Amino acid sequence: MKKENIKFIQGNEACVEGALYAGLDFFAGYPITPSTEIAELLSHRLPQKGGKFIQMEDEIASMGAIIGASLTGSKVMTATSGPGFSLMQEALGYAIMAEIPCVIVNVQRGGPSTGIPTHVSQGDVNQARWGTHGDHAIVTITASNHQDVFETTVHAFNISETYRTPVILLYDEVVGHMRERLVIPNKGELPLVERLRTSVKEGVDYHPYLPREDGRLPMSDFGSVHRYNVTGLFHDMWGFPSDNPKIVHGLLRHLVDKIQNNVNQIARYKEFYLKDAEIILISYGSSARSANHVVFSRRPRGEKLGHLELQTLWPFPYDLVREKCAKATYVVVVEMNMGQIMEEVRKAVDQPEKVFLANRIDGVFITPTDIRNILRLIQGKGV
Amino acid sequence: MAKPKLKAHLINPEWCKGCGICVHFCPKNVLELSDSDKVLPARPTDCICCKLCELRCPDLAIEIETEQDEQ
Amino acid sequence: MAIKDYIRERFFPHIWCPGCGHGTVMNSLLRALDSLGMSKNEIVMVSGIGCSSRISGYVDFHTLHTIHGRALAFATGVKLSLPELNLIVPMGDGDALAIGGNHFIHAARRNIDLTAIVMNNRIYGMTGGQYSPLSGYGTLATTAPYTNIDQSFDTVKLATAAGATFVARSTTYHVQQLAKILKQAILHEGFSVVEVLTQCPTYFGRKNREGNAVDMMESYNKNTTPIGSKAKKENPDLIERGIFIQKEMPEYCSEYDKIIEKAMAKYSNS
């Protein structure tokens, strides 16, 4: 492994490295703590490889610009935090409806509203799922360490291209700003999914919204030989607006099913000591670092703790969670919000009364001690 | 350039919505609206092929075909 | 008709009301494009939401029907990522200057090579006739039943102040001037703004007793005048038509190409 491949950098930079590795061509964004470094680094790195960077006038325009650029064939990304993420929701819905590949990074900070810009939280989990209006599906991925930030960023671009969907990378301020070692893989080590373009020839009818047999939808770049329409209205397979009930029903089912039916292919997770665990911690993002610490420090003392680290939050892997937690006495969800993933875990397991929350919501990073104290309370052992 | 000679008023009654713009602004009063509110060339021989009706029509429903168009 | 080549005929007759000025704008625009002889594959039309913005469904180009007010942001992404494309951005007065006002200002400021066509009918037509920022003091609308107390502003002055390098105005009466102006706007390498006074007889016209489409177009003739004319000096209330600004300034995408050159040179030297 070359020395140049080893870096000691912030998580935001690890995300940038992952995006560039995946083939990012175009970034449009707006500065907001704690994601600004992503924009700054890309303003520097993208033109070095002939890519394009633009700082737009706001987050709404940033989403518009990346969607436009994606339609010319570029791999695109934007990055923001809570308040910007709120602004992006309408355009995010547009990208979902028009099936346009793009990656949106939200480095979470304390909210709601202006909140606490320089402190961590994991409060945007449900917003990532339901922030935009209407029934829809969305893919949301997170990571707890820089190697995984890199890999999940590459994974996000791959998912985005495979399913023609926006993907949200939901990191948080601790992972975004802390410094850690990253090893950048060599070219070819991680598989990349490239833009699938149609093989339909010029003059032959091209349907931008007609899935192939394998479910994928070949695209055609703006500027090439097929002229079609892209709209946020319900549309037929040529992209033209329709309010025909059959078409509306079919399209909505397609938009949701293409994600929900592929939960297993999209899901990523890590498991530690789950086989004989009596208490299973479920965590994600930077909280998972503390959860891991608890499990790894207590196991040698004979405590049967286990950890399920989720990397895919949406679509939520209900079956996976049910299966992994079947034999546990307690399931404790560790997160820095008021139980957003805990609610999903409760829905997943056969005995919701065995699911508890170990959380912290004051802008301070949740520590192993915090988790241990809550575990003791849950087990009736006092503090 | 020679004065354009009228060949025909090509009118698409399916597209015409009877707004009356072409009728009103025709400098030679060539056009009228029929009983079903579609434009028709009432006095085609008066047409000077200025094509203002064709340029202004919001529905692309009227076209002035001239002898020169054929060349 | 040569311009029939540029439309998606299967969707005609279109949804616009009888006498709607937007149809005339589309007519003039297609003639302008025809005179330029561009390939249809080079043209991308990006529109917002509203009656004006429905134009994109009717034309045979790469068409992008976006969300209310944000057409210029989407268009910026298309253009910057593939500058060889020709971008045309038709919007309504509300779409461009109310909800889209911020994006209008910044697209002009960047001088990015887009052609913005503000189809100004002084009303929100699609939603049934509410007032827009350009309706004007004293007019009536469904949300201004006791008359509108909002002042309007001047699109040309706004575009000029924001930095647009081609700014023009015409009307649906003056179709020959309109086609010429649109052609020049499209050819111009930089941010072009063409404001077109276009009639909404169904809502604005009816509510404000301006008559039918014909009456409204007659008033465009009566109440406008060429820039700097004698009539304007005698009657300052007349609205000027023509090209107000036409200048050469660095265009955004070519400036960014220079940035790429700089970045690549620095990178290869390090």
pLDDT of A2 over the 80 cut: no
Of A70, A73, A229, the CB nearest to C65: A229
CA A143/CA C266 separation, integer angstroms? 33
Helix, strand or coil, per DSSP, at residue C142: coil
- C260 contacts on A by Cβ (under 8 Å): 47, 50, 52
- Which among A339, A54, B58 has a CA at the least distance from the CA of A331? A339
| Domains of chain C, residue spans | 11-269
Same domain, A39 and A104: yes
* Residue C3 sits at the chain A interface (C-beta within 8 Å): no
CA C198/CA C129 separation, integer angstroms? 15
CA C24/CA C9 separation, integer angstroms? 16
Mutate to test the interface with C, among A133, A205, A226, A227 (most CBs of C within 10 A): A227
Same domain, A225 and A297: no
CA A171/CA C217 separation, integer angstroms? 57
Mutate to test the interface with C, among A20, A53, A57, A92 (most CBs of C within 10 A): A57
pLDDT at B68: 75
CA A70/CA A210 separation, integer angstroms? 19
All domains of chain B, ordered by start, with CATH? Answer: 6-70 (3.30.70.20)
CA C152/CA A148 separation, integer angstroms? 54
Cα-based torsion angle of the residue sequence C103, A106, A169, A59 in order, rounded to the nearest 10 degrees: 0
The chains in contact with chain C, meaning 3 or more Cβ pairs closer than 8 Å, are A, B
pLDDT of B70 over the 70 cut: no
Q: Which of A224, A249, A266 is the endpoint of a domain?
A: A266
Query: Nearest CA of chain C to the CA of A224: how many Å?
Result: 6
Query: Nearest CA of chain B to the CA of C186: how many Å?
Result: 19
Check CB contact under 8 Å for B63 and C1: yes
State pLDDT tens for residues B4-57: 888 899 999 999 999 999 999 999 999 999 999 999 999 999 999 999 999 999
Q: What is the pLDDT tens value at each position of chain C, 270 positions in all?
A: 889 999 999 999 999 999 999 999 999 999 999 999 999 999 999 999 999 999 999 999 999 999 999 999 999 999 999 999 999 999 999 999 999 999 999 999 999 999 999 999 999 999 999 999 999 999 999 999 999 999 999 999 999 999 999 999 999 999 999 999 999 999 999 999 999 999 999 999 999 999 999 999 999 999 999 999 999 999 999 999 999 999 999 999 999 999 999 999 998 876
Helix, strand or coil, per DSSP, at residue A381: coil
pLDDT at C270: 64
* Residue C24 sits at the chain B interface (C-beta within 8 Å): yes
Query: Nearest CA of chain C to the CA of B46: how many Å?
Result: 21
pLDDT at B54: 97
- A220 contacts on C by Cβ (under 8 Å): none
Of A58, A65, A231, the CB nearest to C65: A231
Q: How many domains does chain A have?
A: 2
Which residue in chain C has the smallest CA separation from B60?
C27
Query: Nearest CA of chain C to the CA of B51: how many Å?
Result: 10
Helix, strand or coil, per DSSP, at residue C125: coil
Are A225 and A231 within 8 A, CB to CB? no
Same domain, A186 and A306: no
* Residue C262 sits at the chain A interface (C-beta within 8 Å): yes
Mean pLDDT of A86-108: 98
The CATH classification of domain C11-269, taken from the options 3.40.50.2020, 3.30.450.40, 3.40.50.970, 3.30.1480.10: 3.40.50.970
Same domain, A345 and A225: no
Check CB contact under 8 Å for A68 and C73: yes
Query: Nearest CA of chain A to the CA of C253: how many Å?
Result: 10
Sorted by sequence, the CB contacts under 8 Å of residue C207 that are 6+ apart come out as C129, C139, C140, C141, C142
Are C21 and C172 within 8 A, CB to CB? yes
CA A93/CA A321 separation, integer angstroms? 28
CATH of the domain at A162: 3.40.50.970
Residue A154 included in any domain: yes
* Residue A45 structural domain: 1-266
Identify residue C196 by its one-letter amino acid code.
V
Q: Do chains C and A touch (3 or more CB pairs under 8 A)?
A: yes
CA distances to A2, B14, C26, C82 from B60, rounded to whole Å, are 66, 11, 9, 32
Query: Nearest CA of chain C to the CA of B59: how many Å?
Result: 6
Same domain, A72 and A20: yes
Which tokens in the block code for residue C221? 């003739």
Which residue in chain A has the smallest CA separation from C254?
A52
pLDDT at C44: 98
Check CB contact under 8 Å for C214 and B21: yes
State pLDDT tens for residues A299-356: 999 999 999 999 999 999 999 999 999 999 999 999 999 999 999 999 999 999 999 9
Mutate to test the interface with C, among B60, B65, B66 (most CBs of C within 10 A): B60
pLDDT at C201: 97
Same domain, A256 and A139: yes
Check CB contact under 8 Å for A71 and C80: no
Crossing angle of helices C101-110 and A59-70, in 10° steps, is: 70
- Predicted TM-score (pTM) of the model is 0.97
Q: What is the DSSP letter of C122?
A: S
Of C1, C3, C16, the CB nearest to B58: C16
Of C19, C22, C26, the CB nearest to B19: C19
Same domain, A175 and A288: no
- C173 contacts on B by Cβ (under 8 Å): 56
Same domain, A343 and A200: no
Same domain, A33 and A129: yes
Same domain, A126 and A217: yes
Check CB contact under 8 Å for A69 and C267: no
Query: Nearest CA of chain C to the CA of B30: how many Å?
Result: 17
pLDDT at A115: 97
CATH of the domain at A287: 3.40.50.920
- B55 contacts on C by Cβ (under 8 Å): 27-28, 31, 175-176, 179
pLDDT at A1: 66
CA C148/CA A251 separation, integer angstroms? 42
Q: Do chains A and B touch (3 or more CB pairs under 8 A)?
A: no
CA A193/CA B47 separation, integer angstroms? 63
Print burial letters for A184-223: b (CB count within 10 Å at least 16), e (below 16): bbeeeebeebebbebeeeeeeebbbbeeeeeeebbbbbbb
pLDDT at B21: 97
pLDDT at B2: 64
Crossing angle of helices A59-70 and A89-97, in 10° steps, is: 20
Same domain, A281 and A319: yes
Same domain, A312 and A199: no
